[in-house]
Amino acid sequence: MAFLLRDGGQASSGTAARLALVAAVLAIVALFRLNRRRPFSLGPVYAGLFLLFHVGLLVPIALGASPSLLNPLDTQWVMSDGFTSASLLVTIATSALMLGYLIGFDPRHQESRIEETAAWLRFRSAGHIGLLLLSVGCLLWVYNVLASGAAVSGSYVQFLDSTAATSMPAAYVMMGLGMPTLSAGPSASARRAGLVIFAVWSVPAFMLGLRGEVILPLAAYLVVAARRRRIPLRPWMAFAFVGGLGLGAAVRVIRQVGFGNGFDPSSFRPFDGITELGYSIRPLVVSSDLHERYLEPYVGVDTYLAPFRRFIVGRLLGGDVIAVADDPAVFGAMISRRVGPIGGSPAAEAFHAGGVIAVVVVMAIIGLLIARLDSIETTPLRNALVGTLTFVLLLWVRNDFTPVPFEAGAAVGVVLLVRVAANLRRGRRKAPPSLPPGLVRTTVGRR
């Protein structure tokens, strides 16, 4: 239906929003039913965050209400034809994601693989490596804040401006890879210590406006925790979700005026919280306008080949390459030049690459990959792999493809480190040393 409405060009913004909302609800229900034994698998978590970021702004429109916008000027693009087209693209992207997931999903391996206790204890190092990554990431974040002179009590924009030239991205990646690796290990003490460290950092970070930086590592941790033990859905989780949306709306106000100006209880509005999270649809609006309104050509697969070309030609061969900020093939850079730093979206980037067909192909591939990760047997090492790749995929939801290869490589590197540490631990626990030559080991038994 979304294809027909796009081709006919007769859908209203309300109709397109309602269609996207229905597709989102059906997708979430289907994923929870497919993952009844493990409702917090990667599939439901990824789809939930993807749809929250892309459909949130459509919820009030679908219900016939006016959305609470961040800026009065946002009315221009929310009321444009490109917004209606983007809403239909969300429906298509959701359907393609589900199609890929259904093709690749295999529930037979969702039960924990039975292994000896010693085999799990061999991977105690996973928790320690995750704890180390998380701790270093938090310390690097604090160092960057102190070195740049950024005011934690100031506004979100001021904080970003102050820390723009620092190594904050590295800090966030270390924390994001550390949390799921921490969760993969059998050491409960390491997990407790890591959660305390993350909580101490995340409270001021979330209040400052760094919501994605807090939510995504926590979501990756949850996916791995759900692979270690069954975490059923509970009624209180719905209330916690609504409370989180209300807190997000309050943070929206704080990030504009600064935490130092106090907290206004009236800003605790869950409906506004889900609306603001849905701003990831804007890159889709921009991409739709560029190619359907201004008839700019699609960039093709260059948007996905650019990071590999930059690494091979620029780093390995020492050749000249276009800077990321100036490369027309880099979706995020193009968006920043046109409308500012509004983030990205895998669906918007796919449309920029090749139109609707590319959206279907890319989102179906993502759904297939997620399904295969959900179908992997549960062992500590595989949990670490699934968890770290979960963080990479979730990070891509609001960004472009450019950093994905590097982040995926870092995730694999962390998993290999866990494997090496486990092998060394096994080597130290082998049979007792042999006796000197000439001596024979005897066994004395009871008669």
What pLDDT is recorded for position 433? 46
The predicted-structure confidence for 256-280, as pLDDT tens digits, reads as follows: 655 555 556 666 788 888 888 898 9
Q: How far, in Å, CA of 352 to CA of 350, rounded?
A: 5
269-307: burial string, b at 16+ Cβ within 10 Å, e else: bbbbbbbbbbbbbbbbbbbbbbbbeeeeebbeeebbebb
Q: How far, in Å, CA of 396 to CA of 382, rounded?
A: 21
3-state SS class at 447: coil
Question: 171 Cβ partners below 8 Å, 6+ apart?
Answer: 137, 138, 140, 141, 144
Q: Which pTM does this prediction carry?
A: 0.90
Instruction: Render 400-430 in DSSP notation, one character per residue.
Output: -STTHHHHHHHHHHHHHHHHHHHHHHHHHTS
Question: 265 Cβ partners below 8 Å, 6+ apart?
Answer: none
Q: How far, in Å, CA of 334 to CA of 187, rounded?
A: 45
What pLDDT is recorded for position 96? 98
The predicted-structure confidence for 111-124, as pLDDT tens digits, reads as follows: 555 444 556 677 88
The predicted-structure confidence for 72-101, as pLDDT tens digits, reads as follows: 778 889 888 899 999 999 999 999 999 999
DSSP label at residue 378: B
Tell me whether residue 434 is exposed, middle or buried, using C-beta atoms within 10 angstroms of its C-beta: 0 to 12, 13 to 18, 19 or more.
exposed
Counting residues of the chain whose pLDDT is more than 70, the rounded percentage is: 87
